[in-house]
Structure 1
Amino acid sequence: MSQGPRLRLRVHGVSNGLWNEDLAAIPKEDRTWGVYNYISLWTAMSVCIPTYMLASGLIAAGMTWKEALGTILLGNVIVLVPMILNAHAGAKYGIPFPVYVRASFGVLGANVPAMLRALVACGWFGIQCWIGGEALFRGAKIFLPGLGEGAIWWCFAVFWLLNMGVVWRGIETIKSLQVVGAPFMLVVGLSLLFWMVGRAGGFGVVLADAGAFRGMDEQAAGSDFWKIFVPSLTGIVGFWATVALNIPDFTRYARSQKAQMVGQAIGLPMAMTLYSFIGIAVTAATVIVTPDHKAIWNPIEVIASFHQPMVALVGLAALLLATLNTNLAANVVSPSNDFSNLRPNLISFRMGGLITGVLGVACMPWRLVADPERYLNGWLVGYSGLLGPIAGIMIVDYFVIRGQALNLDELYVRGGAYEYWAGYNRRALVALALGVAVALVGLFVPRLHWLYQYAWFVGFAVAALVYLMLMSGPDVRAMIPPNPLLLPVDGFEAESPMA
């Protein structure tokens, strides 16, 4: 018996429809992200204009500044739990979200949750591009005071192209921007805080006056706190419900589980709470220092109002960098992988990023951010009802059904352990449909509107319980086919002894 030639073997049924270089598992030796990378990742994603405006919006709705800050902290601690749980598989196996979700939804069924996540990301991408375009427009007006309002569309297009240019350079460019940009953005944010608080007379004066821009009187605000708190908490959880799903896209680069867990546990609550406080204090300070005592929620307007052009320019440049960082990390990486998962042989990470950019414009982001009520109770709470059920299914499948054990090779093959019925796990799809239906039924049945206010929580719980029951039946193992046939075709390399 002699050693024969090397053959390229592939599991029967596998094609480029399930694999490309962007979806492939990252080898352990190439996983280089440490604690600081994850702290800087969350700083880069959290230090952005929507975060700044979030707390101010809660106060305007009727909360005190302490209630607003506490609600934001609680919401981020809650969403940190599914974030770290879903991050585990990425760090352990080096796989991105659309590959990880194949275990629960099937190798083809994974496209359903991946597309839901991707479409929400496209909406966020468009919103951040519109905000970045506004910052660019305000900066241009410092030197061109006569610039017409119509120029904001050109600034929007320029900022969109800047995002696309970074996407084309790849994931490592995004990582480099985060490492450099995160500390710079914090310094600028703190500088803005101390600048405005100093002009207003100190923290004592500012925080004492933080209720000046509340949306209702003290007595009404106190009695209606819980009516404000419930949808606000759901909206804050929904703020990061997107990344709570696709966090494996980032933890697949982690050196260890400890690195990603510690980095996230420090980075997310700290950055969100700190930058929200900056938003509260600066907005309260504008009530004191502006001639008409009007609250300015948007930091772009605050910085643009500075009389020193160079100070204003540096501040606006920092906001541009903050928006670029957030957009790339939170709203490009995931949909790029998700679209690639649809047709890996045709759609690369770069092409997926371009698709994200086009759909981000198509969603008309200028309309999404025009109305604060539509933004919080429509956009944030609404899509949380779509994503909460996916998180529930993923966590139950990985930790309860499979005990954190995945067959890495068969995540990329047809006819394997994750084939289910023609590539779809119908039990997961049923659980997802029921979770979404219960979470969103309050939109159509007024008496059940309270379910919609808890959309993420309701969807998560319903889908998780239904999936657990459906996957606990005695016939579950019977639907998993035997090991597929190996055929000598182009694909995975293997040694094959021949006579």
Structure 2
Amino acid sequence: MTKTQVEQNGIVTLTSEAAETLKDSHLLNEDLRPTTKEEHHWTAYNFASLWIGMCICIPTYTMSSGLIALGMNWWQAIVTIILGNLIVLIPILLNTHAGTKFGIPYPVFARLWFGSKGAHIPAIARAIVAAAWFGINCWYGGAAIDTLLVSMTGWEQVGGHLFIAFFAFWALNVLIAYRGPEAIRKMEFWAAPVLLILGLALLIWALTAAGGFGPMLSAPSKFNSVGSFLAIFFPALTGVIAFWATLALNIPDFGRYAKSQKAQVVGQSIALPGTMGLFAFIGVGVTSATVVIFGEAIWDPAALLSHFPPFVIFIGTIGIILAALTTNVAANVVAPARAAENLYPKKITFAGGAILTGLLSLVMQPWYLVGDIANYIFVFLNGYGALLGPIDGIAIADYWFVRKRRLALSELYKSDGRYSYASGFNMKSIYALLIGIVIPVLGLFIPALSFLWQNAWTFGLIISGCVYGYLMRQSPSMLSEEEYASMTVMMDSASTSKKLSGNVIKSDPENV
């Protein structure tokens, strides 16, 4: 068998010959192709700064502070958030491995389990959720700008002033996202430490104004029994898990640039739970302090800003804008932009996908999604968790248990290859997805099964993963060890061969 790929230090790239044969494939364009060896340059710090930039965002703040508003005390809210993030870190690391090893983005990864055409199903599902988050972050940023303008001018006299500020900030987000993922990496690099400093400054204010940690964290839990607490805890935990269930799916979009598996594992394992825990504590602490200072729990940061003088509002607005931008362009643009590209690889670019994401976010009506904190956590977060959990389960089961991390990289870009299945659709993954969605949804209608819906992401992941693994146990699309060895050139770290140094499809380094 002709050698089509090279594996060196755990990273697989195409041979120059295989890359040449794919250049006219309608399933490939500059953004969807496998990365080259040189493009695997993200370090542990790049991944850590990526997560710091994404985690320090207004939805993180409102989620943690919202748990206080729902009746938890400070440590119950923190434990819920840290536990949820440790759980979701597992699929994040498992799915990143595939992106790092084979250099493929999420829509191409999805071709493995759903087929060359069926991959649009999980890609679009992820894109819709991302567009909703894009709109939510734009709404918070716009609200902060509106608060600033009202405090400094007669802005409140302008009709529809809040929506004007929202659309202006929305346009800024679309413009930055238009420049592509490499611009995202550069922005996250310097924005991460700035956001940490601003977050700590907010915590220091709350600590000082409330008179210390004692008064600040004195608000008791409103739950009188274990049962009443658990009734809120489990759906809240699912909401926390679902918060990053989105990135658990499309994390290969970033993992494909990792310098090594160690780089992505170390960077993500430290930054995700660590930053979420810290910023959640800031959100919880500040919201608890507002009860002491203002007599009510103020969980909306834009509303909190209105209680400060103009200069503080200005600094706070800069922080909110920066937080919204770093999260939006990294977490909420890449996935839908790639999904759009995957629909028509030869016609739609990443930039075009970014514009489509912005337009779709308006359709999602973010002002409605965040209008009520219970609606935000229990309906929005839990609802899309029930959709994405089964997809996560299928992805993990396919790569780790069905294929055992062995792929024919070039076949992912062939419409008649081994991953096309029946007319481009793998019906086994579709059956597994439907079963993983339907069973948890039963908990919405059958009170005795309510625990299924309260833990929809977890049950959906396990159910779909198991069903998919069972249905795929005899699939001819799997590669044996011998087949994988026959198509792969194995090179150690000392090898310097240039003939087989990897994919030679040229790229603009600013568009990778």
TM-score > 0.5, shorter chain as reference? yes
Whole-Å separation in 2 of the counterparts to 1:146 and 1:239: 34
User: 1:303 is matched with which residue: 297, 302, 305?
Assistant: 305
Aligned residue for 1:63, secondary structure, equals coil
Whole-Å separation in 1 of the counterparts to 2:114 and 2:58: 35
1:22 corresponding residue in structure 2: 31
1:3 corresponding residue in structure 2: none
* Gap runs ≥5 in structure 2: 1-16, 484-502, 506-512
- Does residue 224 of structure 2 align to residue 219 of structure 1? yes
TM-superposition CA deviations, 1:164-190 (whole Å, max 9, x none): 110122212211211111110110110
Whole-Å separation in 2 of the counterparts to 1:7 and 1:80: 34
TM-score by length of 2: 0.87
Amino acid paired to 2:289 = A
1:176 corresponding residue in structure 2: 186
Aligned residues: 466
Once the two structures are TM-superposed, the CA of residue 467 in structure 1 deviates from its matched residue by 0.7
Aligned residue for 1:147, secondary structure, equals helix
Q: What's the RMSD between the two structures over aligned residues?
A: 2.1
2:472 corresponding residue in structure 1: 471
Aligned residue for 1:29, secondary structure, equals coil
Whole-Å separation in 2 of the counterparts to 1:430 and 1:408: 25
Once the two structures are TM-superposed, the CA of residue 28 in structure 1 deviates from its matched residue by 1.5
Amino acid paired to 1:161 = A
Whole-Å separation in 1 of the counterparts to 2:242 and 2:327: 16
2:36 touches 2:504 (CA, 8 Å); kept in 1? no
Aligned residue for 1:18, secondary structure, equals coil
1:382 touches 1:440 (CA, 8 Å); kept in 2? no
Once the two structures are TM-superposed, the CA of residue 200 in structure 1 deviates from its matched residue by 1.4
TM-superposition CA deviations, 1:256-306 (whole Å, max 9, x none): 10000000000100110100100111111112222xx12211222223321
2:456 corresponding residue in structure 1: 455
TM-superposition CA deviations, 1:314-360 (whole Å, max 9, x none): 11111111011111111101111111111101111111111110010
2:394 touches 2:429 (CA, 8 Å); kept in 1? yes
TM-score by length of 1: 0.89
**Kindly, what percent of the aligned residue pairs are identical?**
45
Once the two structures are TM-superposed, the CA of residue 60 in structure 1 deviates from its matched residue by 2.1
* Gap runs ≥5 in structure 1: 1-5, 483-491, 495-499
User: 2:211 is matched with which residue: 185, 189, 201?
Assistant: 201
1:79 corresponding residue in structure 2: 88
Amino acid paired to 1:248 = P
Amino acid paired to 1:219 = N
Amino acid paired to 1:414 = S
2:68 touches 2:287 (CA, 8 Å); kept in 1? no
> How does 1:179-258 map onto structure 2 within 5 Å?
179-208=189-218, 210-211=219-220, 216=222, 218-219=223-224, 222-258=226-262
Change (3 A) 1:265 1:116: same
1:289 corresponding residue in structure 2: 293
Amino acid paired to 2:264 = Q
Amino acid paired to 2:399 = Y
> How does 1:382-397 map onto structure 2 within 5 Å?
382-397=383-398
1:47 touches 1:185 (CA, 8 Å); kept in 2? yes
Amino acid paired to 1:181 = A
1:7 touches 1:493 (CA, 8 Å); kept in 2? no
Whole-Å separation in 2 of the counterparts to 1:244 and 1:146: 41
Amino acid paired to 1:275 = F
2:250 touches 2:335 (CA, 8 Å); kept in 1? yes
Amino acid paired to 1:411 = L
Whole-Å separation in 2 of the counterparts to 1:379 and 1:164: 23
2:326 corresponding residue in structure 1: 325
Once the two structures are TM-superposed, the CA of residue 249 in structure 1 deviates from its matched residue by 0.5
Whole-Å separation in 2 of the counterparts to 1:110 and 1:84: 21
